[in-house]
């Protein structure tokens, strides 16, 4: 639990909590940091998300430029 000791050294006395609540806060922060470093906190994008992003890029980014180029010239 090296992370917990580092968190305590950085935040101890700066949270305006009593010692009991401050200790619980530090433990929760350490758990969240462990989950974040393991990649468990936020899931990556799936295939459907990537397809939707590509479709929005084409519809909102490329087609208006092509439409403008065709209509102006």
**Tens of pLDDT along the chain (73 residues)?**
567 888 888 888 888 888 888 889 889 999 998 888 887 878 888 999 999 999 999 999 999 999 999 998 7
Using only the alpha carbons of the chain, give its radius of gyration.
Answer: 24
C-alpha 72, offset from chain centre: 42
Q: What angle separates helix 19-38 from helix 2-11, to the nearest 10 degrees?
A: 130
Structural domain tally of the chain?
2
| CA pseudo-torsion sign 12, 17, 21, 26 | negative
Same domain for 1 and 24, yes or no, is yes
Same domain for 33 and 13, yes or no, is yes
pTM of the model: 0.54
Same domain for 17 and 50, yes or no, is no
In which domain, by residue range, is 10 found?
A: 1-42
Same domain for 19 and 30, yes or no, is yes
């Amino acid at each position: 639990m090296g992370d917990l000791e580092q968190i305590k050294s950085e935040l101890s006395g700066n949270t305006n909590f009593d010692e009991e609540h401050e200790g619980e806060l530090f433990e929760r922060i350490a758990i969240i940091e462990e989950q974040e470093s393991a990649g468990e906190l936020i899931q990556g994008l799936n295939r459907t998300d990537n397809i939707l992003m590509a479709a929005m890029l084409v519809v909102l980014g490329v087609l208006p430029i092509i439409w403008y180029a065709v209509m102006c010239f």
